[in-house]
Structures are given as C-alpha cells and as structure tokens.
Chains A and B, each alone.
Chain A
Amino acid sequence: MTDMQALLAAEMAKLGNSYKARLPLELGELLALAGQLSGSDADHPVLEELHQRLHKLAGSGGTFGFHSLSEQSQQLELVTKSWINGEVLAYQTMLGGLIEKIAALSLTLSERDTSVAYKQGVMAVKTDVKSRNLLWLADDDEQLGLELQRLLKQFGYEVCLFTRLDQVEAATGSEQPDILIMDVMFAKEGMDATKEMNIRHNFKAFHCPILFISARGDFTVRVRAARLGARGFLVKPLDVPKLVDRIEQIMEAEKKAVYRVLIVDDDETLSTHYRLVLMSAGMEVEVLNQPEKIIERVSTFRPELVLMDLNMPEYTGQEVAIVIRQHEQWIGLPIIYLSAEADVDQQIKAMGKGADDFLIKPISDTRLVAAVTVRAARARQLSDLMSKDSLTGLLKHSGIKEAVEFELARAQRNGFSLCVVMIDIDHFKKVNDTYGHAEGDCVIMAVAHLLKQRLRKSDIVGRYGGEEFVAVLPECDAITAQQIMNDLRESFSALRFHHQSVDFGCTLSAGLVCNKQYPEASAGKLLVAADEAMYMAKQGGRNRVCVA
C-alpha cells in the first residue's frame, strides 16, 4: 500500500464508522415512513420519499462495505418504484411485507465487508471519540423509563428507550450503544433479564457494557448479572447522579482517547511513513523535520510522547532531548529514541541522556504502534494522576490556571475569541451541613459530569476550589458562552438529588469573560474578571449567568 492509499484507507474507515453509527436512525425513519402507507392515493409523496431514501441506501451502503444492505435496499427500491408507477394494483395487501423487509434491513448491518478499501493501516481505527454517548435504557415501567430518559438527557446523553426485552434483542443486531442500562424484571413478558440474556444467543453475541437497575438485589440475581459481565448493579429507587457517575466511569474506561505524538526526524519519507502508520492507529501525529523548532512545536502541539531520531545531520537526538528537559514543564514528557543503533552500550548511553526508551529501526508497523500505544497510555495515566482532581476527574487548580494561560496565548496568536467561565454552586455549605459530605460530593460530581458532557472536546474544565469550577472555551464568543452556560445552569437546577427520603435540588451561579472585551488582559486578569462576574451573579440573586 502506498502512503496515500494508507491515508485514504484510514479516512475511509473513519467515514465508514460514522456512517455505520447513523444507519440505525436512518432505518428507523424508513420504518416510520413505511408505517404511514395506507394503500390510497395519499401515499404518493411518502412512496417518493421512501424510494429516494432506499435508493441512497443502496448506493451508500455498498460504498462502506454493507453489501447485503445495499442489495436488499435496491430490491425494495424497485418495489416502491413499481408502486409509484402504478404497475401494481391494490398493493395495500403487500404493505405488511414491505414493512417486514424494511425492518429486516437492520439484520444486514452485522454483515460488513471490511476488506479491500476498508482495511485499516495496522489496527482498528477508533474515531469519533466525541461520539454521541448513546445509552439504551430498557425498563418495562414506561413511566419510570420516560422520566429516567428525560433526566439522562439533561446530562447530555442520547437515550433510546425500550419497554420490552424482545425489542432490545431485536435491536442488538443493528447497533451498539455505549452502555445498556437494563431493568431486571420484565413483568409483562414474565421474564427476568439476567436469565434471558444468559440464554439467548443474540444477547450472548452482544458486546456492550451492561448496567443493571433492579427493584431487588438478592444474591442470585446479582450473580447472574455478574455472569453477564455487568459493569454495575443499582437498586431502585435510583439516585440519578450516582447512576450518571457510574455511566461516566464506564465511558471513561471504554474511551480510547487520541494520543498526540510528535516525530522528530530529518528523514521526511520515513517520518511521513511513521506518521501514517500511527495515524491509522487513531493517533494524532505531527512531524518535525527541523530540530531547531523543537520547543515551539512542543509548546504548541503539546505531544504526549516524542519519537526522536537519534542521528540527525546537525544535532543528535540526545542533544535535542536535553534541550526539551531543560524546560521544567517538559521533564515528564516521554521521549523515545528511534535509531538503527544496535549496540546495547550505545543505547544505554543514549538513554542516560533524557530519553525513556529505545526502538530500533527498522521497526515493523505493528510493533511501532504497540510500542507507542503502551508508552503513551502509561504516560497519560501518570499525568492524569498528577494533574486531575480525584473526585471529579477534572483538572486541578494549577492545571486549569495553566490551561487558561496556554489557551489565551493560542487565541491571541490565532486571533480568535476565548471565554473563561467561573462557576460556583449556590448555598453549597447548606447541602453539606444538611445532607452530609457524601451528598455534597454527589452534587459536585453532577456539576462536573454536566460540564464534561455539555462542553466541547476542545473546552477545558477544572475544579478550581471546593465547589468552584473554571471552564475555558476557545473559539467561543460571549453570547454563545452565555447560552451554553445558561443551558447547563438550567439542566443542573432541574436535577433532583436524594438523601434518605428527602429529595432536593441545587442551583449554580456563573460569571464569564471574553478576551475580546479585555484585549490586553493576562490570564490572571481574565480569571479575576470572571470571578467578579460570578460575584455579580450571586449578588443578583444566584442561579444566573453574568458576563463581565
């Protein structure tokens, strides 16, 4: 495969995955359209729409390797065409068949040809890290299900509700949610989900984290849940913030975050090749061919790992590594030498000079990906432990202050606007005093989850103090930031927390500042201005967002 083809394959895989993620929705809409048909003249526009969409599916399905989907859609396309043209009289007797066949399209989704063009460089490409956060919720109590769906949506999840176990089973063929939240007893069907899922083939083949919610939590049920590999078992009545916390933990564990890798090598062909290999494994990769620019590049790209060629014409890899290490903030940055050097003594000597490991060229693509993944994962784990708040998983005080500085500098360089938001939970002391610190922690976690869910991936959030948070929103103006924060504020105020039999709610106040209003201000000044705006919000009666 040439480099371009490898890159194309990686792009195709990315597109294919996002296409696949959209298919269930499309099939659902087709089914809804078919359900509108009555056999009368009024059908015409619906048939036209169905026909167009089936045609598109026939074309696009094959492009992404869904060949049977493509074929079956094409057949259905012809059927609808014949109805439109009046070639079939009294087709209403055939409507049931059409609906069945459209429903059956979802069964083809598991048959995907991932060979040829879809073959990915080395490893599966996991893209769309900011996926939709799709949850499936299955509960035979529709009332409860709808309420839970509403609450989870406030946290930014997309929730698909099922009230029957067989609906869930039917859906397993077509799509995979991020998490399945499953009630245990389905009274109408007279079934125990933990029993059925252990028996039924479709469920056995379904690999998705499962979280059980149950009215009772006796040992036998819990064991059956454990056999299914359930990731959690919560007893009703449900504490929604706790449920969200568990969901978030599972998502975090499942999430394959994108590693940022910087390659320093004067050999352009080889470094481009490494870049493509690592990119096709889902990493974000930049190449630096001029070592002189190392500090600028490390500051702007913020790699989590540096792959450094040992022998470059003007400088050695060791020298460049030492220059990196002269900067205190990059002391922990993993540096791996890449070199043809086979002499162990040479390697050890090189390692003494600021690097963490040594890879010998030529290295196979698979090994390169594995070596970089393992080291980047470890480095991230360590840096998370050092820089993240243990309760919320957000950046700590110093980390978020640094982020404000970094993002402000980037915004000034690129001339875009940036907002800094200060958030404080209203009357938080009262929550702690009345319901205890454990409950207080739940409230703090709820704010943290909402911030993580609602903000964009490029936004940065930190826990600034006890009940105080800071968010940095790059490329965002004051009006948009205010909208986002008001939306978040409303979601938060709608949340209900439970303590023993008491049900309570909380609100928050926020102040925000946009750098465009304070063109000369430093990061520290912006934080002060945001803090003052937050104070204004408190003065104005709390539960509001003020702009500095």
Chain B
Amino acid sequence: MSKLQRILYVEDEPDIQVVAKLALEMVGGYTVKICSSGNEALREAEAFAPDMILLDVMMPGMDGPTTLAKLRQLPALDQVPIAFMTAKVQPQEVAHFKLLGAVDVIPKPFDPMTLSNQVQALWSAAHD
C-alpha cells in the first residue's frame, strides 16, 4: 500500500485555505493543493493525482456533494477517499454524507495541530 502524500482541499474561504494548507504541510508534511471551487477542482484534480480529497460542503456555485459526485465520474479518481469538511455535523447528516460516498466528515472548525492526524486516520481506515 502506498503512503498518504498528496492532498487536494476544495474550500472557498481564503482564511481557512491558508490555515489548512499550513496545518497539513507543516505538521503533516503533506503536499497540499487548494482549489477554491468545485469547478476548479474538476479541472485540476486529475493532473494533481491526489491520494485524498477534502471537500467543503457549502460553497457558492457547485456545492460539496455535487463536486463529489462529479469527481467520482473521473476514472482516475473513483477510488480516492473523499472526506467532507463542514460546520454542521448532526449525526443524520454524517450518515447522509457517507451515503453520498464520503469516508467521513471532519467537523469545522478543525484544530490545525491535529488535522493531519485526523486526515491520516481517515486515509488509513479507507485503505484497510
């Protein structure tokens, strides 16, 4: 099994983009690419070849679930674990997101110190 190295993070909020990038790069040592919209992610994702994708749920234009569905149609990405990042995490919603094909939901706000561990754990679980 390969190792988690490349993470694609789709998020429209610039502040959170910066924090997430710092957290994942500095603490986790991952290679991180940020896309600011679902459309950008669809354009860039295949070329970046991520090991894991993190998706904000609510974005203007294309929302997280729609982006997930479209990413899944790309043959190169149909096996890549995708997790949602969202502020709203009620149990039934987590279940709903999992039904859509997400491995899990990471609640926002995340702790920048432990985000890398959370992502690593989800990725490892998906590869068990």
> Binary interface profile of A, 106-141, with partner B (CB < 8 Å = 1, else 0)?
000000000011000000000000000000000000
Of B12, B58, B110, B111, most A-chain CB atoms within 10 Å: B58
Of B16-24, B67-75, B94-102, which stretch is located at the interface? B16-24
Decide if B13 is an interface residue (CB 8 Å cutoff): yes
Given contacts A12-B112, A116-B113, contact A59 B16 (CB under 8 A): yes
Closest approach, in angstroms, between the C-beta of A68 and any C-beta of chain B? Answer: 13
- Bound CA span A12–B113, Å: 10
Q: Looking at the complex, which one of B18, B26, B110 makes contact with A4 (CB distance below 8 Å)?
A: B26
Classify chain B's interface size.
20 to 34
Decide if B109 is an interface residue (CB 8 Å cutoff): yes
Closest approach, in angstroms, between the C-beta of A222 and any C-beta of chain B? Answer: 44
> Could you say which residues of chain A place their CB within 8 Å of the CB of B113?
5, 8, 116-117
Closest approach, in angstroms, between the C-beta of B118 and any C-beta of chain A? Answer: 13
Given contacts A56-B13, A58-B87, A59-B13, contact A117 B111 (CB under 8 A): yes
- Bound CA span A74–B90, Å: 13
Closest approach, in angstroms, between the C-beta of B10 and any C-beta of chain A? Answer: 14
Of A5, A15, A55, most B-chain CB atoms within 10 Å: A55
- Bound CA span A117–B22, Å: 12
> Could you say which residues of chain B place their CB within 8 Å of the CB of A19?
15
Given contacts A11-B22, A12-B19, A12-B22, contact A62 B112 (CB under 8 A): no
- Bound CA span A509–B128, Å: 73
The chain A residue with its CB closest to the CB of B11 is: A59
Decide if A411 is an interface residue (CB 8 Å cutoff): no
Contact: A63 with B60, CB < 8 Å?
Answer: no
Closest approach, in angstroms, between the C-beta of A536 and any C-beta of chain B? Answer: 45
> Could you say which residues of chain A place their CB within 8 Å of the CB of B111?
116-117
> Could you say which residues of chain A place their CB within 8 Å of the CB of B16?
59-60, 63
Closest approach, in angstroms, between the C-beta of A18 and any C-beta of chain B? Answer: 9
Contact: A4 with B108, CB < 8 Å?
Answer: no
Decide if B121 is an interface residue (CB 8 Å cutoff): no
Given contacts A5-B113, A8-B113, A117-B111, contact A15 B19 (CB under 8 A): yes
> Could you say which residues of chain A place their CB within 8 Å of the CB of B22?
8, 11-12, 15
Interface of B is mostly: loop
Closest approach, in angstroms, between the C-beta of B68 and any C-beta of chain A? Answer: 18
- Bound CA span A58–B88, Å: 10
The chain B residue with its CB closest to the CB of A8 is: B26
> Could you say which residues of chain A place their CB within 8 Å of the CB of B18?
15
The chain B residue with its CB closest to the CB of A49 is: B60
Chain B residues 11 to 64 lying within 8 A of chain A, measured CB to CB, are 12-13, 15-16, 18-19, 22-23, 26-27, 58, 60
> Could you say which residues of chain A place their CB within 8 Å of the CB of B13?
56, 59-60
Contact: A63 with B108, CB < 8 Å?
Answer: yes
Closest approach, in angstroms, between the C-beta of B115 and any C-beta of chain A? Answer: 10
> Could you say which residues of chain A place their CB within 8 Å of the CB of B108?
59, 62-63
> Could you say which residues of chain B place their CB within 8 Å of the CB of A12?
19, 22, 112
Classify chain A's interface size.
20 to 34
The chain B residue with its CB closest to the CB of A119 is: B113
> Could you say which residues of chain A place their CB within 8 Å of the CB of B58?
55
Contact: A52 with B60, CB < 8 Å?
Answer: yes
- Bound CA span A262–B27, Å: 26
- Bound CA span A4–B112, Å: 12
> Could you say which residues of chain B place their CB within 8 Å of the CB of A116?
111, 113
> Binary interface profile of A, 42-70, with partner B (CB < 8 Å = 1, else 0)?
00000000001001101111111000001
Given contacts A15-B15, A55-B58, A58-B87, contact A63 B26 (CB under 8 A): no
> Could you say which residues of chain A place their CB within 8 Å of the CB of B110?
63
The chain B residue with its CB closest to the CB of A63 is: B109
- Bound CA span A186–B23, Å: 49
Q: Looking at the complex, which one of B12, B27, B109 makes contact with A5 (CB distance below 8 Å)?
A: B27
> Binary interface profile of B, 71-86, with partner A (CB < 8 Å = 1, else 0)?
0000000000000000
> Could you say which residues of chain B place their CB within 8 Å of the CB of A7?
26
> Could you say which residues of chain B place their CB within 8 Å of the CB of A61?
109
Closest approach, in angstroms, between the C-beta of A81 and any C-beta of chain B? Answer: 10
> Could you say which residues of chain A place their CB within 8 Å of the CB of B60?
52
> Binary interface profile of A, 180-223, with partner B (CB < 8 Å = 1, else 0)?
00000000000000000000000000000000000000000000
Q: Looking at the complex, which one of A52, A70, A74, A117 makes contact with B112 (CB distance below 8 Å)?
A: A117
Of A56, A63, A64, A117, most B-chain CB atoms within 10 Å: A63
Closest approach, in angstroms, between the C-beta of A35 and any C-beta of chain B? Answer: 22
Contact: A8 with B27, CB < 8 Å?
Answer: yes
- Bound CA span A60–B108, Å: 8
Q: Looking at the complex, which one of A4, A8, A59, A117 makes contact with B87 (CB distance below 8 Å)?
A: A59
- Bound CA span A63–B12, Å: 15
- Bound CA span A117–B111, Å: 7
Contact: A63 with B19, CB < 8 Å?
Answer: yes
- Bound CA span A58–B23, Å: 19
> Could you say which residues of chain B place their CB within 8 Å of the CB of A8?
22-23, 26-27, 112-113
- Bound CA span A321–B16, Å: 45
- 30 A-B pairs with CB atoms under 8 Å apart are A4-B26, A4-B27, A5-B113, A8-B26, A8-B27, A12-B19, A12-B112, A15-B15, A15-B19, A52-B60, A56-B13, A59-B13, A60-B13, A60-B15, A60-B16, A60-B109, A61-B109, A62-B109, A63-B15, A63-B16, A63-B19, A63-B108, A63-B109, A63-B110, A64-B15, A70-B87, A70-B109, A74-B88, A116-B111, A117-B111
Residues in chain A within 8 A of chain B (CB atoms): 4-5, 7-8, 11-12, 15, 19, 52, 55-56, 58-64, 70, 74, 116-117
In order of increasing CB-CB distance, the 7 nearest A-B pairs are A62-B109, A63-B109, A60-B15, A8-B26, A59-B108, A117-B112, A117-B113
